[in-house]
Structure 1
Amino acid sequence: MPLSPIGYYSDFVVYPLLITALAASGLVEAGLSGVGWWIATCGSFIGLWTLIEYLLHRVVFHRFPLIRDLHHDHHVNETASRGTPSWLSLSAHGLVFLPIWLLTNFEIASAVSSGLMIGYLWYVCIHHILHHWHPPHAGYVYRLKQRHALHHHIDGDGSFGVTTGLWDRMFGTATTKQTARRS
């Protein structure tokens, strides 16, 4: 959805602060004996975020009528300040954090939520870079930019992963340069 400049850039401030506070609190709660477990859990949920990102983009952003229309506006006007308002994404993270905390403990809830929030922040940063920066023609970010451009301009029914192409390859939705040339 359209956002003001403050609304658009707020994730870049709010999430690092929240992740830092949550991770620090969780690591203190874990103590020296639980730090390795906490980091492994957090890392696992960073990885899980990439699947969530893929599914949200493929299913929600491209299939749900109202959201699909808002997302289509992003495809048409790629550099406009559009995105998920921080209050909405933070609410979704809260809907994960609170039940886990209530059902388990703060240590587990902080590791899971920190991982998901780091994954989300990485997605927000990468997506911004893909639409607003011109990375060197080599490396990870340039490959992501090429794949995302295929999604925007050639095949809106493929290449749904923004931070990785792993899930597109696994689920058969990867758009390659060869596929694009045939289109």
Structure 2
Amino acid sequence: MLLSRVGYYSDFFAYPVQIAVLGAATFTYADADRASIYVAIFLASLALWTLLEYILHRFVLHHLPWIKEMHEQHHRDVRALVGTPTWFSIALILGLVFFPVLWLADVAIASIATSGFMSGYLWYVSVHHMVHHGHPVHSGCLYSAKRNHAMHHADQAYNFGVTSCFWDRVFRTVRRPR
């Protein structure tokens, strides 16, 4: 959906605050003897985000009719401020990650899992912003992401991962430049 400048850039302010609050909750309620478990949960949540990013981009943004129409607006004008409203993405993550994990575990585990997931989302919106609005040097991760994503815009059957091409490799949807 086309967002105002404030709406578009809200993710870059709201998510760090949310991640900090969840981090504080983790440390407040955590058992120090389980520190390695919290790190593992954070990393697993971050990895899970990359899979969800791939699935959402491949199957939701390119196939669900009314969402596909909004996403096509992004493909037509890559510099337009198109995205998901921050309030909506935060509500989804809290509703689909924090509260279900809280129901199954405790506040510390729900907080660290949600923090990992939100960190993945923040990384995604940051990379996606940079590949369309930034000018990465001709080497490095951001340049590779920009090149792979540009190939996706040229042929929408490939390169659905924005932050990583791992899942594109797994599901055989990766296309490299010649």
Alignment of 1:102-181 (within 5 A): 102-153=103-154, 155-178=155-178
Query: 2:164, 2:104 → 1: CA distance?
Result: 32
Query: 2:36, 2:23 → 1: CA distance?
Result: 13
**In the alignment, what sits opposite 1:2?**
2
- Alignment TM-score, normalising by the size of structure 2: 0.96
Deviations 1:25-82 (A, max 9, x none): 1122113212221111101110111000000000000000000010000000001111
Query: 1:99, 1:141 → 2: CA distance?
Result: 34
| Dislocated runs of 4+, deviation >2 Å | none
Paired residue secondary structure (1:84) = coil
8 A Cα contact 1:19 1:114, kept in partner: yes
Paired residue secondary structure (1:54) = helix
**In the alignment, what sits opposite 1:34?**
34
Query: 1:172, 1:27 → 2: CA distance?
Result: 40
**In the alignment, what sits opposite 1:181?**
none
- Residues 52 and 46 (structure 1), Cα distance of their counterparts in 2 relative to 1, 3 Å cut: same
Q: Which ranges of structure 1 fall in alignment gaps of 5 or more residues?
A: 179-183
Give the Å deviation of 1:98.
Answer: 1.0
Kindly provide the amino acid, as one letter, of the partner of residue 98 in structure 2: F
Kindly provide the amino acid, as one letter, of the partner of residue 145 in structure 2: L
Alignment of 1:80-99 (within 5 A): 80-95=80-95, 96-99=97-100
Give the Å deviation of 1:103.
Answer: 2.4
Give the Å deviation of 1:100.
Answer: 1.4
**In the alignment, what sits opposite 1:17?**
17
Query: 2:81, 2:46 → 1: CA distance?
Result: 25
Kindly provide the amino acid, as one letter, of the partner of residue 18 in structure 1: Q
Query: 2:104, 2:36 → 1: CA distance?
Result: 22
Query: 1:88, 1:74 → 2: CA distance?
Result: 19
Q: Which ranges of structure 2 fall in alignment gaps of 5 or more residues?
A: none
Over the aligned positions, Cα root-mean-square deviation in angstroms equals: 0.9
Give the Å deviation of 1:170.
Answer: 0.7
Aligned-residue identity in percent:
44
Kindly provide the amino acid, as one letter, of the partner of residue 163 in structure 1: T
Aligned residues: 177
Query: 1:76, 1:175 → 2: CA distance?
Result: 21
